[in-house]
Every structure is written in C-alpha cells, then in structure tokens.
A and B are shown apart, each in its own frame.
Chain A
Amino acid sequence: MSLSAIFVHPLGLLAQDAFPFWALLRSGNRGDLINGLIGSSAAAIVVIGVIVVVALLTRYRAWRPLWFDWLTSTDHKRIGIMYVVIALVMLARAIIEAILMRAQQADGLGGGFLSPDHFAQLFSTHGTIMIFFMVMPFLTGLINYAVPLQIGARDVAFPVLNSISLGLTAAGAGLVMISLVVGEFSTGGWFGYPPYTEALYTPGVGVDYWIWALSVTSIGTTLTGINFAVTIYKKRAPGMTLYRMPLFTWTALCTAILMIFAMPPLTVATLQLALDRYLGFHYFTNGLGGNQMNFANMFWLFGHPEVYILILPGFGIFSEVFSTFSGKALFGYKSMVWAAMSIAFLSFLVWLHHFFTMGQSGHINAAFGIASMFIGIPTGVKVYDWMATMFRGRVRFGVPMIYAIAFLFLFVIGGITGVMLANPILDYQVHNTVFLVAHFHNVAVPGVLFGMLAGYTYWFPKAFGFRLNERWGKISAYCWIFGWMGAFFPLYVLGLMGLPRRSVAYEQARYVPMEIVAFVGALVVGAGLASLVIQLWVSIRQREQNRVYVGDPWDGRSLEWATSAPPPEYNFPVIPIVNDRDAFTAAKEFGMGYQEPDEYVDIEMPKNSALGPVFGGTGFLLAFGLVWHIWWLVILAALVAIVALIVRGFQRETVQIIPAEQVRREHQRWVHAARAAQPITRGKEGTSANRGRAALETVGAPT
C-alpha cells in the first residue's frame, strides 16, 4: 500500500454496498428481500438505539455525569456495573438471533426463509457474542464488583488498567454491533477455522470483523486476568488467608489465572490469521507450507480453558447462593477450593478433544479422552458439596436459589452428555450434529448464564441500594429454565437422528416436530429475556419500597455485605481484619456487625483517568480502520493511543484524598441507619419490610 493510495481512497473499501439497506434496494428476488429486510431492521435497531441513547443523554443533561462519574471512573464498582450493562445489551442481541435461528430451522424443511449466508452470520455472531461479549463481560463485571469487597480491599490492584480493559472490551462489542450497520460479520462460526476463513475462500470483511473484535477484547481480557490475580493475591484484608477467601473469590482467582495463560494463544491465532489474510502469509493456508492444524491446536488451547473461564465464576456464585440461601456455611469448603483448582489445571490438558475426528492417532485420542473424563471428578465433588450445603439448612427459594437449583439438576445432565462426548467412539457417532449443540448449551446455559443471572439478582441490591422485584424475577427465571429445556432437549434427539449442526435447512420431514418444539422453547426463552427487562423497569419504579441501604438484605456471610448499599467509593471506612471464613457472619454473631472504629483517617483513592475511554475509542477506530483498510485511521488511532500512554507515564498527581471527616460522616450515617433498622427475619426478606438489616439466623448442628 503506497502512501498516495492511503489518501486516494480515504474510506478504504468502504462503499455504498456496505450498507444492508442498499443491498436490499438493488435486489429483485423475494429471498433477498426477506434477508435484506431482516438485516436492515437489525441495522435500524442499532442506529435508532444509538440515537435514542444520545437524545436521552442530552435531554437529561447526562453527558457530564456520564463522563466524570462513569466513563473515566476508576472505581471497580462502577467499572463492574458498566461491564454488566454491556453484557445485558449483548445478551439481548444474541438471544434474538437464537430465536431467529430456531425459527428458520422450524421452517427449514427444504428451505426456510433465511439465506445460508445469513444463517451462517447468525450462528457466528450468536456464538461469538455469547462467549466473548456476553458471558465474559458479565463475569468480569461481577468479579469486578464483588471481589474487592469480598476481600476487604478498597479497589483492584491496577484501577486505571481496569478501566483500559473495559474500554477494550467495549471496543470489541462496538465492532460486533457496527458490523450490523456497515458490512457483514463472519460466516466462519465462533471458532473461525481456516482455510474457510482464509481470504481465498472468504474474501469479504466479515472475517476481519471477527478477527479484530476478538483480538481487541482478548488483550483486554488478558489485562483483566493479570489485574484480578494480583488483586486477590496482594490486596486481601489482614487476616484473610487463602483458606478464608469466599468461594467466589477463589473461582475468580482460578478464572484470572486461566485468562493469563489461555488468552495469549487466541491472540496469536487471530493475529496470524490476520497476517494470512492481509499480507498473504502462509500460517494456515492449504499450500506453500501452511498448517491448518496449528490453528485448531492454538484455538482450542485457548478454547477449552475458556469454557472454564466461563463456568468457574458461575460455580463461585452458586456456592455463595447455596450457602447464603441455606443459612449455612458452605459444606466441604476445602474440597470446593481444590476442585476449582484442579479443574483449572486439567482444563489445559484436554484441548484436543475438540478435534477427535481430525485424524490423529487412536492413542492420542484415547489419552485426551481419558484426561477429559477426569474433569468430571472434581465437578462431581462440587455437586455433592452443594447438595450437602442445602441438607438440613434453612433453604429459601429466592430468585438466585431458583436458578441455583435448576442449575444443579440440568448441569448434571449436561455433564453426563459431556462425558459421553469425551469418549472418542461416541464422538465419532454424534460429531458435528446438534447433539453437541445440545450438550454445550446444557452446560453453558444452566451453568454459565443462570449463574450470571443469579449473581445479578444476588448483588443487585448491593450495587444500587434496592432489591429487584421478586415476582418478575421468578417469572423470568421459570421462563429461562423451562424455555431452555424446551429449546434444547429436542436437540439431543435430533442429534441422535443425525441432524448436522449449523444446517440452515434439511430434507427429512421427521425432524420437523422436534424443531417446532425447540422453536417454541426458544420463544419462551425470549419471554424470559423480556421479563428480565420488565423486572428492571418495575424495580426501578418501586425502588423506594425496596431500599436496603443498610446493605445486608439476604443475611450475607462475606465482607461485601458488611458495608452500605451502595457502598461508598472507598468501600470500607477502615480496612477490616478478618478472623473467620464467613467473616461477616462471625462478626454478626458477636453483635459486631454495625460498629464504629476507634478513629477515622484520610483515605487515598485513585483519581479519574481518561485513559480507559481513550483506549476504548482508539481501539475501536484502529480495528474499524483495519477492517475497511482505512490506513490513515489505523495510524492515527495507534499514535493517539501511544501518546496517551506516554503522557500518562509523566503524570504524578494520580491520587485524591478523601478526608477523614467525610468518611466519619458517611460511616456514622450508615451505622445509625443500621441500628435504627428492624432486623428482618428470613421469612420476611422478600417483603418491603426488608431494609437491608438481616436478623442473624445461622442454622445449628443437626439435632
């Protein structure tokens, strides 16, 4: 690319055709019209969404608070909330796509209404979004929110880095969103295997969107992993030994370690694919010495640990939920910890089971098959521990607990089908059928998504100071659970009947009934999503009845419940000293939950920083420029990012002091509110009498 070319085509490859609407107008036939309409409506939703948000921000004069209180904030709690917002928006999109796919397949006997290309974009975006832009931001958000509080820290180890990671994740999500409006997305599935994704076979910009969206976020995720690992390792409150950490913190630590080691292979694989596509290198090409298996190996060296990055925080959340909502300490704490650690370790040894059928020797398959089955052992340990935690506990069926119990049942089914798939003989039978799709959704939805939704409900009152509406929460939970069953149990049957995954259409009429059941299930899932939105809306409207300022609405056991809801910026007026595994429960047992310290001191907190939004913006523009070959934009964005980093290095006033007087005032207000509040018994925690002060009701030894 010569210098003049850079300026001759200021918009690179970007032309009219890139907008779905034009493609729609130019085409005559009916099929193109339907696909064009769907594409254009999706684009319109994105555009209208952006316009509405901008208008609302302007109308309510929210730009300044948005910038100063949120985007440039280095407060881990706000960053966590922003992650969850991204996750929920992306969840909505991916679920709508899932329903569309199920609709297509229900209608898929000999055709259907979607073009194969459109269907391929749908499963590629659905899978990519669910994994990278829904679950990953969701769990990162929840960890960000809860872990520093759980370990009694003021913030994460590197607050500005945290904000940069958020910026990079947002840039990736923005890239996936804009691909709806400008151009197209990859058709190569969420794992984008070459040579299909090589320029020779798939020349459009879709694969490039996929590559850069993943590259940008995976760098952000690596940084997040480093940040969490150091935070948990170095920033624990005095007395909080490793074996006193809440289980969610433990799983967050395992996840962070997995992120540090598993994301780099993905980064390398996507960047090498980019070099192949952009500069004609030969890493994965068919000829000239390339080797596609390198991609498969690196991708799954990332991909398998990735599924444990996704699931371990879910396990952590469920552990907290089981223990809190049973009013008991977690059963088998140490075995839980060891199980999580062994799962994290084993996850690196089994990646090859994702390509049993690609022609390696039987011995290798056997070794990896056996290694894969070993993961079932620690997982089984966890399941028994959770059941034992409920045993003779005082179980309450709040919304998080409903998710948790559904998880327990469904996850066991998913686990069993996983062990079936880890057997190469069986895998040959159902390889690439929807049996596999049913299996991984059987793990991903109850284990991961339900975990995230349980965590969202569980910590929401802590984050915003009021509880979510219980009734809509339950409606939503039941829709998710039963809708999920409807959508995926038929897929096991269809898989055994031989329906290949990713099929836009099929020829066998006997598939139709099951496909229709699955479609109805997906509609119920959609209702679950809608109820979630309604729940939020209703809860915001009734927030005054449901305030829990005192901060402990569920009789929580770990330190995040030992501060007001929402907590002050500095989390704790003085850093707590921990003597027990369930630190807050222990304190409450001694009647020491709500007391004042001997003295208040000034607190040092990081100042706001624009580095996060700058990296988010430049990351997005850089990637967008790369997708469309707009080279001046690429260079400019890279320069701005580098200069911003250098300028930051020269800055010295990066902290602010919160005066002791202010800390005293805020803390005393909270202590007084706590003392004035009526301790609420477990039976009444779902009512508006719950002001966030739980009466202590620890369940005793069996009598």
Chain B
Amino acid sequence: MSNGILQHPFLDLEARQNKQIFQYPGINLGTEHEEAHTQAESMLFGFWVFLMSDAIIFGMVFATYATLVSGTAGGPGPRELYHLGPVFIETMLLLASSFTFGMASVALKYKHPTSALVGWLLVTLVLGLAFLGFELNDFSTMFAAGGVPTRSGYLSAFFDLVPLHGLHVTAACIWLVCMLGQIAVHGLDTKTKLGLLRLALFWHFLDIVWIFIFSVVYLAGLA
C-alpha cells in the first residue's frame, strides 16, 4: 500500500489472514447458484409478511367496528339482526375447509397421488363456496330487516368487516380454481407447489380472522 496511505485503525492484518477470510480474489468472490429452496424460502417468508400487513387492515376494520358498534342511530342493532344458527353453520363450514386444506397439504407433502390432492382441494372449494352462499343469505335477511349499511355508523362498520372477509374468501376461491388449472396444465411443478403452499397459509389465515369475527361480532353482539 503506497501513496502514503495510513493504516486502518482496527486493522489486524495477521488475525484476519489467519482466519483465511480472503480466500477468493476480488471482494472474496465465490460461486453461487440460485436454488429452488432458497427461492421458496423468500417466497413464503414474503407471504407471511404480506399476511401481517393484511392483518393490520383487519385490525383497523375491527377497531372501526368496536368504536361504531354503539352508533346505531336509532336503527336496528345486533340483537335484531344477528342469527346465531346460520353463523354457526358458516363457522363449521370454514373450520372444515381448513381441515380439508390441511389434508390437501398432507397429500402434497407426502406425494400422495395427484388425484387425492385434487380431491381434497375440490372439497375445500365446495366448503368455501357454501360458506359464501350462507353469508350472502345472512346479508339478505339483514337487508330485509332494515339492516342496510347506509342506515347507521354501526351498520356501515358491520358491512365493512364481514364482507371484507367474504371478499377475501372469494379471492381465495378464485385462486383455488386457478391452482387447479395450473395443476391440470403444468402438473405439480415447483411453481404450482409454491402457489399451493401460499394459498394454504391464506386459507388458514382467513379461518383465524373468521374466529375473531365470530367472537367479536356475533357472540359479543348477542351476549
């Protein structure tokens, strides 16, 4: 090192060389290849992060509901509008769909025949659609009883939270159909598998959110 350059204050040349840290030329260049599993890792990690962000959205909407639940403005309130029967069925449908998706994941992991995987996915899809059907029916009974979102702050908040979850379930169902399509076209290649893994996370996440809705909205509303 010429040019009258001073030494790095903490430079302990020998110690560093003993550790053999500068094995490679340049800035210690090594060879490296992108591998499927490192890709999978960041893909799934990224999806977890996305779910955290989505959870904040739900958190905000829950908070809106909590602050507006008393703002019925003389309109119908929870007691007039909620019916535990259908909501209980919806809960069961969603829990069951989480279970069947779990079975699909097991089929994927242990390389069961593709037909088993597709079968479990189809059952999951049917359960998801049934959930949506029941939910829409709930909404229409609420509408009939005067529970429309423009009636009061409380109803606005309700129709923010519950349909937002429903919208998520709808998106998940469409995604599921797309995954079935990808299995048909490409078979179980890496990209399909990664898609299924993420969809599984999403599905279970929605199940958890529903548990909160069930407790905070319906159980607390009728308590």
Contact = CB atoms under 8 A, between A and B. Distances in A.
Interface of A: 157-158, 222, 225-227, 229-230, 233-235, 238-239, 260-261, 263-265, 267-269, 272, 275-276, 279-283, 285, 287-291, 294, 298, 329, 559, 562, 572-579, 583-585, 587, 589-599, 601, 604, 646, 649-650, 652, 679, 681, 695-701
Interface of B: 1, 3, 5-9, 11, 16, 21-22, 24-34, 38, 41-42, 45-46, 49-50, 52-54, 56-57, 60-61, 63-64, 67-68, 70-73, 149-157, 159-160, 178, 181-182, 185-186, 189, 191, 195
A650 B71 contact: no
Contacts of A276: 156
A701 to B, nearest CB: 4
A587 B182 CA distance: 47
25 contacts: A157-B42, A222-B53, A227-B46, A229-B49, A260-B49, A260-B53, A264-B56, A264-B60, A281-B149, A281-B156, A281-B159, A283-B160, A288-B71, A290-B153, A291-B71, A298-B60, A575-B29, A576-B26, A579-B16, A590-B22, A593-B27, A695-B3, A697-B6, A698-B8, A700-B8
Given A681-B3, A698-B8, A579 B28 contact: yes
Contact of A594 (B26, B28, B63, B152): B26
A650 B49 CA distance: 24
Nearest to A605: B34
A291 B152 CA distance: 11
Given A268-B61, A289-B72, A574 B29 contact: yes
Given A264-B53, A289-B68, A698-B5, A234 B41 contact: yes
A264 B71 CA distance: 24
Given A574-B30, A577-B27, A592-B26, A699 B182 contact: no
Q: Please indicate which of the listed interface residues A280, A289, A649 has the most CB atoms of chain B within 10 Å of its own CB.
A: A289
Contacts of B7: 698, 700-701
A157 B8 contact: no
B25 A650 contact: no
A696 B7 CA distance: 10
A157 to B, nearest CB: 5
Nearest to A266: B60
B27 A584 contact: yes
A235 B32 contact: no
A681 B155 CA distance: 70
B68 A576 contact: no
Contact of B67 (A225, A238, A294): A294
A591 B25 CA distance: 9
B119 to A, nearest CB: 22
Contact of A697 (B5, B11, B31, B159): B5
Contact of B28 (A157, A291, A585, A587): A587
A559 B26 CA distance: 11
Given A281-B149, A289-B72, A589-B8, 6 more contacts: A226-B46, A226-B50, A576-B26, A598-B25, A601-B33, A649-B178
A574 B32 contact: yes
B26 A279 contact: no
A57 B3 CA distance: 49
The 3 A-B residue pairs whose C-beta atoms are closest, nearest first, are A289-B71, A289-B153, A595-B25
A239 B21 CA distance: 10
